[in-house]
Amino acid sequence: MITPQLRGEARVVLLTRNLRETAARRLTHPYPVHHATMVRRVEGMPPGWTARILVLRRADGIDEIYLPLIKYQRAYPNRSATWQNDIVRAVGLFWDYSRATAAGATPIPIVSAQPFLKELLQGFALALREGTVVEGRDPTGLYWPGSPYSVTKNLVRRIEDFARWCHTVSSSSQHRTDPTSPPNDGLSFTDILVWSRLRKFEMLSYISAEPRSVRRRSVVNLGKDPRGHALEAVKFFPRKDAARLLWEGHRRPKSAGGGDAYGAHNARDQMMALIDGWGGLRRSEALHLWVGDVVENPDKPGHALVVLHHPTDAAIEYRDPISGCLQAGTRGQALNSVYGLRARNVEKRGRYHAGWKGMDLDPQHTAIIHWLDDRAAALFWVLYLTYIRYVRPPIMRRRKALRGYDHPFLFVSEGRDRNPGDTSRPGDPYSMQAYERNHKAAVLRINLSYGKRYGTTTHGLRHMYGRTLADLRVSPEIIQKAMRHTSVLSQLVYVAPDNATTDARLQEAWDRLQTGELSLPIRASPGSGALDQDALSENTTQALLRLRETILDGGSIA
């Protein structure tokens, strides 16, 4: 177990930052001032599991690991690395704010604790939302910029969840924190969180005893969510540039003038783009594919049949390396027994990690990839054969010569000699970071802007798949099946029209109404107050003419 004292390599020196330099950074998010974070293994946890360690700089200058946060992460070992990062960041920023506004007093005196805590919680949420700089000055020394509503809400909820857990642990332990008889020596940092729970000072929460539709009045008012509730059409990769991405973006720059048939293009990244853009996968899902997960479709010779398996629970037969006998088990068991590895979604560290989001799988924990275009399935099959015959084997032989471990994953890294920006070794399982980096280079190579707002990230390819299905007026049930959604409502973000489409559909409806293809269900009678189509058209035309004449004449509208 990691001890509270930092020694040797784990020593973290928190340097005092010059406030002028900090202000000159033009920060875009709150920056750590009195804390630091690091990633470390923790004894007693499964192999590959790591915790985000929060190191606090106390008012007396001593650096100390905040152990309750490690215990909190140990209590939820299956949570994602993103969740770990969020909770550590939230608590770390709350510590910074507490240090900056309480004159470094730790523990906090019990005297007037209740109003102090209320102001502390309110002030922290407000500092996150609005920032701490007022008219160029910041008495706290934090120099935090304002954060979006969604970011503030996420950090606040992470702290509230941690406070609830602290309360539960303290209630079941010998050192129970009782709001009616507080300790005599004051409130520690953890006590502040526990007291915020006991005194019901949650910044954002529901009351569990009340109906879920009744929202508790919070001590922190972040205002109304500025995003509203309207569905916004997602940005997807431009369909007109998809073919250019395959053939121009993934052409190797050094092979632009020629080269052998297997070196002119990066077949691996072409396959990734195909299976994401024409098969609808998320960027991390293809990284879980094994070599044998792609076969020739028996119903369509010359076309690829790709089966996506759950990384740990999908059933598989494998040969036990000790007995040599075939064993029936799961992919997680096969990885561990044959290769000494853990599933990539379970391993939380470094480049080997690949996420896995919940999806609709069959009873065998598998899903078939449904191609948007048969030509994409045919091209994928040709690329696959090229890749496993001429590209992957030499890389894995080079890896074996370097005494690297073997693995069954289809997509592998080529190593530093093929990509100077890639720090992985030859044959390492292809990482999400490397895929995104290479995809970005391909996007820029075809002179497109890269970014989520342009739809040109790797996830934009999946959005292109979903948007195309929606534009083709495919039924919601088929879209759900093709995109492996667990709920039919998940596709709403793909079918939500953008502004141009909305205007076009309204104009189409109006044109059909004008030509008589459509008719209003109710014809107005005089004095009924219902919509009269002819009167609307005539009155609208007259109003527009009067408005035009008024503007030209500089008069007033009668």
273 in the same domain as 148: no
Query: How much is the average pLDDT of 409-438?
Result: 81
Whether the pLDDT of residue 112 is over 50: the answer is no
Does the pTM of the predicted model rise above 0.85? no
Whether the pLDDT of residue 443 is over 60: the answer is yes
What is the model's pLDDT at position 181? 33
Instruction: Assess if residue 154 is contained within a domain.
Output: yes
Better-predicted residue by pLDDT, 108 or 157:
157
Query: How much is the average pLDDT of 89-106?
Result: 77
Instruction: Assess if residue 407 is contained within a domain.
Output: yes
Region label for 16, one of left (φ > 0), alpha (ψ between -120 and 50) or beta (otherwise): beta
Instruction: Assess if residue 212 is contained within a domain.
Output: no
449 in the same domain as 356: yes
Which one-letter DSSP state was computed for residue 393? H
56 in the same domain as 130: yes
264 in the same domain as 172: no
276 in the same domain as 148: no
Whether the pLDDT of residue 216 is over 60: the answer is no
Q: Which domain-ending residue is among 171, 198, 225?
A: 198
Query: How much is the average pLDDT of 275-301?
Result: 93
244 in the same domain as 190: no
**Which of 263, 257, 252 is closest to 395 using CA atoms?**
263
Q: Are 465 and 454 in contact (CB under 8 A)?
A: no
Better-predicted residue by pLDDT, 521 or 486:
486
535 in the same domain as 458: no
What is the model's pLDDT at position 511? 80
| Encoded amino acid at 332, one letter | G
Percent of residues in the chain assigned helix, strand, coil, to nearest 5: 45, 10, 45
Whether the pLDDT of residue 110 is over 80: the answer is no
Instruction: Assess if residue 514 is contained within a domain.
Output: no
What is the model's pLDDT at position 495? 66
Query: How much is the average pLDDT of 412-433?
Result: 76
Whether the pLDDT of residue 126 is over 70: the answer is yes
Residues 2-32 have pLDDT tens digits of: 444 444 333 443 433 443 344 334 456 788 8
Whether the pLDDT of residue 184 is over 50: the answer is no
Mean pLDDT over each residue of the chain, to the nearest integer: 75
**3-state SS, one letter per residue, for 126-172:** HHHHHCCCECCECCCCCCCCCCCHHHHHHHHHHHHHHHHHHHHHHHH
Contacts of 70 (CB under 8 A, 6+ apart): 2, 42, 51, 53
pLDDT band at 450 (very low <50, low <70, confident <90, very high): very high
Query: How much is the average pLDDT of 119-123?
Result: 76
Highest mean pLDDT among 179-193, 258-272, 287-301, 340-354: 287-301
What is the model's pLDDT at position 9? 37
Bridge partners of residue 37, in order along the sequence: 54
Bridge partners of residue 429, in order along the sequence: 412
Q: What CA–CA distance (Å, rounded) separates 278 from 129?
A: 40
Better-predicted residue by pLDDT, 521 or 333:
333
Whether the pLDDT of residue 328 is over 60: the answer is yes
The per-residue DSSP string of 481-545 comes to HHHT-SSGGGGHHHH---HHHHHHHHHHHHHHHHTTSS--S----TTS-S--HHHHHHHHHHHHH
pLDDT band at 409 (very low <50, low <70, confident <90, very high): very high
Tokens encoding 52: 């985000």
**Sign of the four-CA dihedral 484, 486, 492, 493:** negative
174 in the same domain as 88: yes
Whether the pLDDT of residue 257 is over 80: the answer is no
In the chain, the number of structural domains is: 3
Instruction: Assess if residue 379 is contained within a domain.
Output: yes
Q: Percent of the chain scored above 70 by pLDDT?
A: 69
Query: How much is the average pLDDT of 264-272?
Result: 92
Highest mean pLDDT among 181-185, 468-472, 494-498, 549-553: 468-472
Residues 352-388 have pLDDT tens digits of: 889 888 788 888 889 999 998 889 999 999 999 999 9
Better-predicted residue by pLDDT, 420 or 510:
510
| N-to-C CA span, the chain | 82
What is the model's pLDDT at position 7? 41
149 in the same domain as 282: no
178 in the same domain as 111: yes
Instruction: Assess if residue 555 is contained within a domain.
Output: yes
Better-predicted residue by pLDDT, 541 or 291:
291
Instruction: Assess if residue 148 is contained within a domain.
Output: yes
- The order of strands in the sheet holding 50-57 is 35-41, 50-57, 63-65
Question: How far is the CA of 228 from the CAs of 225, 313, 539, in angstroms?
Answer: 6, 39, 34
Instruction: Assess if residue 141 is contained within a domain.
Output: yes
CATH number of the domain bearing residue 316: 1.10.443
541 in the same domain as 404: no
254 in the same domain as 176: no
Highest mean pLDDT among 137-146, 177-186, 286-295, 484-493: 286-295
Residues 507-516 have pLDDT tens digits of: 887 788 778 7
Question: How far is the CA of 40 from the CAs of 65, 70, 158, 226, in angstroms?
Answer: 12, 10, 21, 38
Residues 47-75 have pLDDT tens digits of: 778 889 998 888 878 888 888 889 999 88
- Please state the separation of Cα 457 from the chain's center in Å: 12
Tokens encoding 382: 């040709």
Tokens encoding 162: 């941690």
Tell me the residue range of the domain where 27 lies: 8-198
Q: Are 390 and 324 in contact (CB under 8 A)?
A: no
Whether the pLDDT of residue 173 is over 70: the answer is no
Burial class (CB in 10 A: 0-12, 13-18, 19+), 378: middle
- Please state the separation of Cα 153 from the chain's center in Å: 16
Question: How far is the CA of 284 from the CAs of 314, 429, 453, in angstroms?
Answer: 17, 12, 20
Query: How much is the average pLDDT of 462-467?
Result: 89
DSSP three-state, residue 216: coil
Query: How much is the average pLDDT of 33-41?
Result: 88
Query: How much is the average pLDDT of 496-509?
Result: 76
Contacts of 260 (CB under 8 A, 6+ apart): none
